[in-house]
Structure formats: C-alpha cells, structure tokens
Amino acid sequence: MNSDSVSRMDAGQFHGHVVRTREVGGFLLTEDVYPRDLLIPRHSHKLAYLSFVLEGSYMEYAESQTRECTPGTAIFHPACETHSDRFQRAGGRILSVEIAQAWTQRLRDESCDTASPRTFERASITMTASQLLRELRDTDPFSALAIEGLVLQLLAQVGRCRTCRPGPARWMTIVLDLLHAEFDQKLDLTTIASRAGIHPVHLAREFRKHHGRTVGDYIRQVRTDAACQRLSRSDEPISEIALQTGFFDQSHLTRTLKTLTGYTPSQYRKRTRGR
C-alpha cells in the first residue's frame, strides 16, 4: 500500500479495540479504546458519524482542517471524509455513532449540511453523549428506546448548531466575536451595543430573533461551555475555573451548571472523564 492510498472502512469498522457496540434504530454505536502513540493512516468511513472523545487526546488531520481532539470534543464526520489520526501518550477512548444513509438524507431534507465536517465543544452535546454512553453500557429492556431517543436529541442539537439563519446584519458578527473573545469580562447590553455601533434595544430584539435567546443567555452558555471544557481537560480547582470563565465565584458556576446540565461541576468532571 503506497503513501497516497486510503483505506475504506465499512460500518462498524474502527482502528481501536472495540469495547462494546450496538445497533439501534438505524444508528450504530461503538465504544473503542486506542493505545498510546498510535498513528492511524489516511482512511475514510462509509457512513457519516459523530464521535465523542471520552478519554485521552489525539490530533486528526483531514483534507480541510486539523482538529485537536480532547475530552469533551464532539466531531461530525461526513460520509467518506478522508482523515488520519495520531494519538498522544495517554491513548484514547471514543464513542462513535454512525448514521444510516436514510437518516443522513433526512438531515439534508431539514437543511442540515451533512457534507462538511465540524467540531463541537458544547456542554449540552457533551452531557447528552455521556447519557448515551451510560445507556450503551446498560442492558435493561428500556435501554434501546433510551438510546434511540438520545441519538435523535444529539442530531437535533448538532443540527441547530449547524443551521445558518439568513439575514443577520454585519454588526451581528462584531457582537458574536466580542461575546466569544471577552466572555470572561463584565459585559452589559449598553457596552456591547456601543461597541457594535447600534442601539441596545435594536441589539436585544435582533439578537433574540436570530439566535433564539437573549444576549445574557448566550453569554451564560459561552461561559458554561468554557468552564466545562476546563473541567474535562484539567485538574484546576473549580473556584479558579469559575473566576477565569466569567462567573462571580464557585457557587455561581455551580448554580448555572446545575441549571443547564443537571450536574454540579465536580459531578460533570467525573462523568465526562468516565470516572
């Protein structure tokens, strides 16, 4: 096999050691582990799939992008996307959800882009994936029903992240860039509107129209996502993570995370690390 060749993986085929696998409702779930320093040459998968990094870390090299994959990272891979992977010293554990072609077509019918890869690092997606993993490991009579429901929930979450609403003005990009760059700072509607050159009332109305939430709710989600990434990837004290991601203190982070995910910071850290 020469260096330019690409191996084609059928449904259910991965390069790791398969721990468990299950097919439910047109979705094939696989939990597998990868040894340290593993290099996986260029390959592609027959079906589109979502992958969730449970443990370890690796770099993924696709034709259009390079991805740093760490615990809490979720990736949508289009069908037949070519990529290679290099695992680091900790190896890795991944949950993959392959999507039958009928479901991929349904996503396209709902105007979801299934031809482009994308990386997600949202607390809501990570928590749904954690629930899915627990159901995959369960064998009671209701686990299949729970799995199908959770996968559909994931597809809805991913679809909403990927759907582009037409018509936002150019100032909206300025606002979004500001919210993501300075989420850890003290921001209020007047300051944000001034930076974007618009009236606060217009900002509030248009932002909710295009994003389905208030500016305050959006900032809260960005801060929570940032805190969840640090909880999954580091052993930093929760109090420090709270302050560095824009929360008043640890109690403020705990209340917010509990409301949005149902878990406290310590519970979230344990569950996303599989402990």
Question: What does the pLDDT average to over 167-173?
Answer: 71
Question: ∠ CA(252), CA(256), CA(260), 5° rounding?
Answer: 170
139 pLDDT tier (thresholds 50, 70, 90) = confident
pLDDT of the residue at 7:
87
Three-class secondary structure of residue 8 per DSSP: strand
Range with the poorest average pLDDT among 39-43, 50-54, 162-166: 162-166
First to last CA, the chain: 40
pLDDT of the residue at 3:
41
Fold of 170-272: Arc Repressor Mutant, subunit A (1.10.10)
Q: Which residues of 249-264 are buried (b: 16+ CB within 10 A; e: fewer)?
A: ebeebbebbeebbebe
pTM of the model: 0.64
Distance (Å, whole) CA 247 – CA 191: 18
Question: Using the 8-state DSSP alphabet, how is residue 36 labeled?
Answer: T
Residue 2 has pLDDT above 50, yes or no: no
Which among 124, 13, 6 has a CA at the least distance from the CA of 61?
A: 6
In CATH, the number for domain 7-162 is 2.60.120.10
Three-class secondary structure of residue 208 per DSSP: helix
**Tokens for 143?**
């686990």
Residue 226 has pLDDT above 50, yes or no: yes
Question: Residues 119, 43: contact at Cβ < 8 Å?
Answer: no
Residue 49 has pLDDT above 70, yes or no: yes
Residue spans per domain, the chain: 7-162, 170-272
Which pLDDT tens digit goes with each residue over 90-130?
889 999 999 999 999 988 888 788 888 988 878 888 888 98
Residue 167 has pLDDT above 70, yes or no: no
Question: Residues 103, 68: contact at Cβ < 8 Å?
Answer: no
Which pLDDT tens digit goes with each residue over 258-267?
888 888 999 9
Question: What does the pLDDT average to over 178-202?
Answer: 91
151 contacts: CB under 8 Å, gap ≥ 6: 24, 25, 27, 29, 97, 132
Phi and psi dihedrals of 58, rounded to 5?
A: -160, 165
Alpha helices in 26-122 (DSSP H): 101-109
Give me the DSSP letters along 101-168: HHHHHHHHHTT---SS-EEE--HHHHHHHHHHHHHHH--STTHHHHHHHHHHHHHHHHHHHHPPPS--
191 pLDDT tier (thresholds 50, 70, 90) = very high
